Amino acid sequence: MESKYKYIVVEGNIGAGKTSLATKIAKDYNAKLIPEQFAENPFLPKFYKDPDRFSFPLELSFLADRYQQLKKEMANPDLFFSFVIADYYYMKSLIFAGRTLKDDEYKLYRQLFWITYESLPKPDLYVYLHVDTSKLIENIRKRGRKYEQNISEEYLLRIQKGYFEFFSQNPDLRYLIIDVNELDFVSERNDYDKLTDIIFNFPCNRGMNRIKIDK
């Protein structure tokens, strides 16, 4: 399939299914996948046990890792793929840091973020999978990552709020916000087809575009 977008980002809260969707689209549509390398971050399990102590080194390490990965992957386009799809966007770093860091730490972090952000390519389409926090908790429990099991709905709500604040404050990108609460796009082919049809064919304008997909 020839995509009208050359760089698509699939994002969402923790447990929304963004990696599953991006991986499936990459396979089905011959796209180059850029997956988030969070599993390799040594500070992540420590952060969930002691957020106050490990939030700053965690966010700094994520910032450095994401910048290096995106800079490398986007520098050399691969002609064998139709487009690029990533299961995260760089601004995710700022959103999570804003919910975990103290004020003085966040002020320094923001300076570093904006210095590096300007040098990275911006996506043609930003897909945000919106899922209610109660279902996110259910999804997190099912996938069974030990260090995630104490994540609270309150924390997920703060992250969700951070995403929407960023969208409203940075309207130059195309944000396609899709309510997927009623879909099982991992197991149900029809649900997946509905979702991909919206992603590739919906006439998306700059700023926030909201859609709810029903069964």
* Paired tokens of 100: 């975990």
Three-class DSSP category at 128: strand
10-33 burial: b if 16+ Cβ within 10 Å, else e: bbbbbbbbbbbbbbbbbeebebbb
Structure confidence by residue, pLDDT tens digits, 127-161: 999 999 999 999 999 888 887 888 899 999 999 99
Asked whether the predicted pLDDT for residue 76 surpasses 90, the reply is no
Span 3-40, pLDDT tens digits: 799 999 999 999 999 999 999 999 999 999 999 876 67
**Residue 145 lies inside a defined structural domain of this protein:** yes
Q: What angle do CA 27, 32, 37 make, to 5 degrees?
A: 100
For residue 33, give both structure tokens.
Answer: 């996948």
1 in a domain, yes or no? no
% of the chain with per-residue pLDDT over 90? 80
Of 49-53, 161-165, 209-213, which gets the smallest average pLDDT? 49-53
Domain-located, residue 144: yes
Q: How far apart are the first and last CA of the chain?
A: 25
CATH number at residue 84: 3.40.50.300
Is 214 catalytic? The answer is: no
Could you tell me if residue 40 is inside a domain?
A: yes
As given in the structure block, the two tokens for residue 13 are 């809260």
| Boundaries of domain holding 117 | 7-212
Q: Return the pLDDT at 2.
A: 66
**Measured distance CA(160)–CA(41) in Å, rounded:** 22
Residue 48 has pLDDT above 90, yes or no: no
Backbone angles phi, psi at 177, to 5 degrees: -95, 110
Q: Is 2 inside any structural domain? A: no
CA nearest 99: which of 164, 174, 38?
164
Contact 48, 20 (CB under 8 A): no
Supply the pTM of this predicted model. 0.91
- Which residue in 87, 172, 184, 193 is the catalytic one? 87
Q: Are 51 and 97 in contact (CB under 8 A)?
A: no
The verdict on residue 99 lying in a domain is yes
| Residue 106 near residue 97 (C-beta atoms within 8 A) | yes
Q: How high is the mean pLDDT of the chain?
A: 92
For residues 44, 49, 51, 52, the Cα torsion angle rounded to the nearest 10 degrees is -130
| Total number of domains in the chain | 1
Is the pLDDT at 1 greater than 70? The verdict is no
119 found inside a domain: yes
Kindly state whether residue 152 falls inside one of the protein's structural domains: yes
Positive or negative, the CA dihedral 80, 84, 85, 89 is: positive
